[in-house]
Chain A
Amino acid sequence: MFLVLIGVSILMFILVRIIPGDPIATALGPMATKESIQKMRHEMGLDRPIYVQYLLYVKGIAHGELGLSLTERRDVLEIIKEKLPATIELILVSVTVAVLLAIPLGVISALHRNRLVDHLNRIIALFGVSFPQFWTGIMIQLIFGLALGFLPITGRLKGTPPEVITHLYLVDSLLTFNLHAFWDSFIHLISPALVLSLSPLANITRLIRANMIDEMSKDYINVSKATGMSGWIVSYKYMLRNAFTSALTMIGFLIPLMIGTAFVVEKVFAFPGLARFGADAIVANDFNGVMGVTLVICVAFVIVNFAVDELYAVLDPRIKLKR
């Protein structure tokens, strides 16, 4: 895992440094003199060989320095601290929505295989992975925001933010009993979270359906049914537990995918999160910004994988025995 982090940082470092054109000249604007460009290049260490630059960058990380962002003109670490919680909140809400909806949909599909409900679910799932997210976002803004006026179109909050505890507005506002702020941030989250959860919802539903069908043919189901246990308990307590455990690895795959989608979704909804900053940074050649964001994504990837492994062991005790 550590090797992956180093690999990604080298790959991205090379990518952001081979960009044609001079990012400093672009950042300073057309009025900048040659001397000031030279000076800034020197200050940022861009006049040194690339491997020295990389080593200096790694040394900087050890000291908690991620460099200066050219688009926002401030420290990248500061930007990450400010914007990461918004993206984390968005993704957590989307994952929760996707999982909570996918479980009943998948189970119902499996129990009524090849019936109308199942076909409907399959079609919904197919639609979910086929919509371009930026377009779905725009259409939701158009319908629910502009035409019906239910939901806000952009942003994370309209009023004043709640007192800072975790930086997650939903959690903070609940902890401080600030129901107004809770509602405010909640309705701002609905549309982006909906768009972001569509494709994972489809994927998880499909997997749970397939796993449930697998489980149905196993002996323990017949035994439980023969002992007179109700169908509900059998399907939701026993089958679902096994079906969900193997779907968990899928969620581990889906979160990195969602971070990618968040780049587009946050951009459409002008959501002040790290993914939106990342998208702007990449397009504007903000090399320190790009490095910072990709490192955060990588660390998130490592953490999610670790968490999935641990959860897997909790849900399926056989794994612990094998270890």
Chain B
Amino acid sequence: MTETLEILKAYNGTGYYGMLFIASLLYLYFTEEDTHTKKILVIVPTVIQILFLIPYFYMIYNKLDEGTYYRLLWLLPTTLVIAYTACKIIDTHTRLGVIVMAVILALSGTIVYAGSNVSIAENEYNLPDEVIELADMVKPDEGRERVWAAFPPLLVHYVRQYTTDIMLPFGRDSLVDHWNAPMNPLFDLYMEPTMDAAKLSEYATKYYCNYVIVEKSKKVIGDIEANNFEYVGETANYTVYQNMLVPFWDDTDEVVNFYSFTDELYGTGNTSEE
């Protein structure tokens, strides 16, 4: 019961919509005249809430889909019921009622556009301009094969939404702890507060990275350009280097197994070509 209550509490977060919903259900229970509407908008949500709180039900659900129990609360017609009840309460006092109720509803929640992950779009892709700038520097020219590039972990979510011609030695899966992505020393190096230039060269070469992108604010031990990298360009916060030890996909006649490192990354069986 404690776990389900915790999930319910987290779902309702900083607002009062959970309480308004319960109050609305009670109001409709006593005032709604249409029996069918009452069954669908009051009784069904009540049954869902009771089920939600049953620990055995939680255990069964978790076996089917762990970590998404909050989605059961999506089945509650919260918005529909609160808005319907609000309209019934204001009755014929339209002007004043609408204003008062609108203020109550607004103050009970949190505006979505003020969220920390919401901002004005910088371009039509709705991706950070800087990521597009960086991707344009490293993406293969027309008619060329794809390239491997190591991007700082903060940017890996965005790069391949712009172009899949850039392949990454580590992606979002490395960032999420409980997904158990295989060990990746290059990722670990990027996560450290300081970066050893010699190690960057070693790992970037091992992972066949044609390019590495390094944060300007990152403290680097040693000189990156003295470790087989060539400066390509920079943006406000990042510098792009080309790894001179790794040939481009279609620039080499040598039989190079570009996927050899995938055994280390993902175990055997994932080494076939795309």
B partners with A: no
